[in-house]
């Protein structure tokens, strides 16, 4: 019975295998290879850690083994090697995918409340607390 | 009431709870709303990026940006033989080609033999197929996966992006987008 069951499982596994198909092409030249110039590689690494993988959206392209993330690393490294500035590459990607592709926060028309609100709340809290602590002194 | 605290009206006491309630409502709204994983390209309305891809198959020419501005709207299908939804989409692309729509393809990270087998099995609706082995054109288009289909107008401007496979009931919508791009 167990043998039969394991045979069945094996058959199921064989059926499921094609579903896991992914591309068989070797990774892009600079997907897993660092740049020879350590300064450039450091720049590329810092940028890659703040770019979102588009097919595995919780990871940066530096963290992901998805083929598309490899292609993005390849592109980042080649552009850095060609002398492009990291922020120019980020901008190039934002022009294509929107702010979503970048993990580095930007102050824009829709994000400024995120930066202003905490400051406003701190100021408000400070004013309220000052009133509260100042009041008894005046009374005494 | 008590003498030290600043005078506050009764409703103000409920304010923190109300703010908290609002916050909970916002979180629930965010949690329960069906999330979309699609990343729309921000290249819609912009001209195609410059590219020139080699032929992915011996019987079809490669694809360059210049080939797309033919004066007539075309579809640009980004696909791969290793992509299962692409196989599901093939009959719909075949139907569109039968209806006279011109379709060009970009094969992403694909082996030539795999692609040949895929086209032999699922049909070949493409006028041209470019091979994009490092996703370079895909990235330049703002496309984030396979399959995706772009409507390109006669001047070579990107007019519409369809993310995911084209379903049978979406064919009229695609034809509509092509017609809009032709106006």
| pLDDT tens-digit readout, A55-67 | 888 899 999 999 9
In a domain, B46, yes or no: no
Task: At B11, list the tokens.
Answer: 């409703």
* Predicted pLDDT of residue A15: 46
Name the fold adopted by A20-105.
Answer: Helicase, Ruva Protein; domain 3 (1.10.8)
> Is residue B140 included in any domain, yes or no?
yes
Query: Is residue B45 situated within a structural domain?
Result: no
pLDDT in tens, A15-55: 444 444 466 788 899 999 999 999 999 999 999 999 999 98
Q: Tens digit of pLDDT for each residue in B68-98?
A: 999 999 999 999 999 999 999 999 999 999 9
Distance of alpha carbon B115 from alpha carbon B107, whole angstroms = 8
H helix and E strand count, chain A: 5, 0
pLDDT at A133: 81
CB contact under 8 A, A96 and B43: yes
Return residues 80-99 of B near A (CB < 8 Å). 80, 82, 84
Share of chain B above pLDDT 70, in %: 96
Q: What is the ipTM of this complex?
A: 0.83
Quick one: pLDDT at residue B6? 57
The helix-helix angle for A67-81 and A38-48 (nearest 10°) equals: 140
Residue A10 has pLDDT above 80, yes or no: no
- Across the interface, which of B42, B82, B145 has its CB nearest the CB of A54? B145
Please check whether residue B142 touches A, CB under 8 A.
yes
Interface residues from chain A to B (CB-CB < 8 Å): 19, 21-25, 28-29, 54-55, 57, 67-68, 71-72, 74-75, 93-98, 100-101, 131-132, 135-136, 139
Cα-Cα-Cα-Cα dihedral sign, residues A128, A134, A139, A140: positive
d(CA B30, CA B76): 34
For residue A53, the SS3 value is coil
Mutate to test the interface with A, among B40, B82, B114, B115 (most CBs of A within 10 A): B82
User: What are the pLDDT digits (tens) for A45-92?
Assistant: 999 999 999 988 889 999 999 999 999 999 999 999 999 999 999 999
- Nearest CA-CA distance, residue A39 and chain B, Å: 24
* pLDDT band per the 50, 70, 90 thresholds, residue A6: low
Mean pLDDT of chain B: 92
Does the residue B100 lie in any domain?
Answer: yes
**pLDDT digit string (tens) for B116-150?**
999 999 999 999 999 999 999 999 999 999 999 99
Classified as helix, coil or strand, B78 is: strand
The confidence score (pLDDT) of residue A139 equals: 52
Whole-angstrom Cα distance, residue A139 to residue B3? 9
The DSSP letter of residue B148 is E
- Domain of residue B96 covers 52-182
Residue of A67, A96, A64, A58 lying closest to B134 (CA atoms): A67
Ranges of each domain in chain A: 20-105, 107-140
Q: How many domains does chain B have?
A: 1
CATH number for B69: 3.40.30.10
- Secondary structure percentages of chain A, helix, strand, coil, to 5: 65, 5, 35
Contact B110 A54 (CB under 8 A): no
What pLDDT score was predicted for residue B8? 61
The reply to whether B12 falls in a domain is no
Query: Cα–Cα distance between A76 and A97 in angstroms, integer?
Result: 15
């Amino acid at each position: 019975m167990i043998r039969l069951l394991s045979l069945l499982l094996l058959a199921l596994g064989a059926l499921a295998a094609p579903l896991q198909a992914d591309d068989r092409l070797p990774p892009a030249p600079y997907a897993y290879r660092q740049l020879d110039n350590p300064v450039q590689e450091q720049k590329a690494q810092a940028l890659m850690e703040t770019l979102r993988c588009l097919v595995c959206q919780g990871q940066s392209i530096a963290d992901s083994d998805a083929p598309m993330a490899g292609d993005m690393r390849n592109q980042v490294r080649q552009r850095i090697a060609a002398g492009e500035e990291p922020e120019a590459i980020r901008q190039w990607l934002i022009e294509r995918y929107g702010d979503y592709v970048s993990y580095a926060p930007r102050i824009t028309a829709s994000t400024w409340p995120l930066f202003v609100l905490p400051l406003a709340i701190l100021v408000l809290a400070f004013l309220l607390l000052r009133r509260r602590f100042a009041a008894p002194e005046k009374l005494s | 009431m008590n003498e030290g605290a600043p005078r506050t009206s009764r409703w103000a006491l409920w304010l923190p709870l109300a703010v908290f309630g609002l916050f909970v409502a916002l979180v629930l709204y965010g949690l329960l709303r069906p999330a979309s994983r699609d990343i729309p390209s921000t290249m819609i309305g912009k001209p195609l990026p410059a590219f020139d891809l080699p032929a992915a198959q011996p019987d079809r020419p490669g694809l360059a940006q210049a080939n797309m501005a033919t004066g007539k709207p075309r579809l640009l299908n980004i696909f791969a033989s290793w992509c299962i939804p692409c196989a599901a989409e093939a009959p719909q692309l075949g139907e569109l080609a039968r209806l006279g729509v011109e379709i060009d393809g970009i094969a992403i990270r694909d082996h030539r033999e795999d692609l040949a087998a895929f086209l032999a099995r699922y049909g070949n609706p493409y006028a041209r197929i470019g091979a994009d082995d490092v996703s370079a054109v895909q990235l330049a288009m703002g496309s984030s996966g396979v399959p995706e289909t772009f409507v390109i107008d006669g001047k070579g401007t990107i007019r519409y992006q369809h993310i995911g496979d084209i379903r049978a009931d979406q064919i009229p919508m695609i034809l509509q987008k092509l017609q809009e791009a032709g106006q």
